[in-house]
Amino acid sequence: MSTKTEQLIQEGQAVVMNTYGRLPMALVKGEGSWVWDREGNKYLDFVSGIAVNSLGYKHPAVVQAIQKQAEEILHTSNLYWIPNQIALAKLLVEHSFADKVFFCNSGAEANEAAIKLARKYAKLHFGPEKYEIISLKNSFHGRTLAALTATGQTKYQAGYEPLPEGFSYTELNNIDDLTKKISDKTAAVIIEPIQGEGGIIPAEPEFLKAARKLCDEKGAVLIFDEVQTGVGRTGKLFAYEWSGVEPDIMTLAKALGGGVPIGAMLAKDSVAAAFKPGDHASTFGGNPLATAAGCAVLNVMLEEGFLEGVQERAEYFKGELQKLADRYQTGEAVRGAGFLLGWPVSKLGSELVNTCREKGLLINFAGGKALRFVPPLNVSFEEIDYAVKILDEVFASLWNA
């Protein structure tokens, strides 16, 4: 690390709140699956802004959409109709279970909107006592207060008490526990199809089917948090497609804008109708720039063969990771779907991440449980092989040392 970067870090520490455990580097350029830091060092990026840059860096369709929109108009507010917003909503509706879309700026905001809509719907149709939200232990739904309370990890909640009331937690893939917890007071059940920050742990299709059935029986809304799994990440446009279980509400963010901040809450008409003008809003939500980027991203992903290519390369990568896991006897099998993969390791998480970085590969450690791999969806076989080569070298030097 040069004096130049050290100075930048010192300047940042002086004026930026200390809310992140940052690595001692600053990324300043990206192209395809690669990024460069201020020193000119080149890295293969299998973090992708934490599943945000799903078309990699400097994708021409996204760049052109942003440039074109910047020359026209950046922001108008939702006091007026926004053509790009309508276009993006149409794409989402045409390719999902949903009938209506609400736009915001982040995954946490999308989950807040989903919780509000679920409670409004429940009260309108069932009365004031139906307001409880069931989420899953080990889940992650965001940092705003309701989303934080829905997050089933106490480490994120410490210091923010009293938390909003009306939230309870059940165990992932435990149908009996969910059956015991759900009641006539339950307004919604919120589930990540794959727990991301919790360590890349998939929900079993049988569990999702049981949740759907129980919600139907109790008049509760089923919410899928697809902030990390959605928009192509698992090899289908949305992860719920793998199970065939449709939610009533789905939340998106991360990859939807290709790097431009945007979130979305999608819902069926029957539920969406609970919101009236003034019930919820977002100043920047779905503005012309963000939705221009979103349209560009979706149009690329909807091209013939794109998602099939993701599935093919992801299956290859998962197989190569499993070979390494078997070779180094790291324990549990590699898990996840598409390019949302977790390699469970019981030790050396930070050391493995840092040594990979030193060798030119960016990965991270999710939930203190697994190495997380979320490369761009258009990563090449050659780049996958390069990542596997580095991982092999790192484990050879550290795992049984």
What amino acid positions are annotated as catalytic residues? 140, 225, 254
The SS3 assignment for 264 reads: strand
Residue 379 carries which side chain, given as an amino acid letter? Answer: V
77 HSE (CA, 13 A, CB side): 3
Q: In what order do the strands lie in the sheet with 221-225?
A: 100-104, 263-267, 249-252, 221-225, 186-191, 132-136, 167-170
Q: What is the DSSP string of 51-93?
A: HT-TT-BS-HHHHHHHHHHHTT-S---TTS--HHHHHHHHHHH
H-helix or E-strand spanning residue 250: strand 249-252
Residue tagged 């440039």 (tokens): 67
Ramachandran quadrant class, 326 (left: phi over 0; alpha: psi -120 to 50; beta: rest): alpha
Burial class (CB in 10 A: 0-12, 13-18, 19+), 305: exposed
Name the nearest CA neighbour of 286 among 55, 68, 65, 88: 88
Q: What is the DSSP letter of 128?
A: T
- The Cα 210–Cα 173 span in angstroms is 10
CA quadruple 177, 179, 185, 187: dihedral, nearest 10: 90
Q: What is the DSSP letter of 137?
A: B
Q: What is the DSSP string of 182-213?
A: --TTEEEEEE-SEETTTTSEEPPHHHHHHHHH
- The Cα 29–Cα 31 span in angstroms is 7
The angle, 0 to 180 degrees and rounded to 10, between the axes of the packed helices 83-94 and 288-301 is 30
- The Cα 5–Cα 25 span in angstroms is 7
Tokens describing residue 391: 């991982």
Q: How many CB atoms lie within 10 A of CB 333?
A: 13
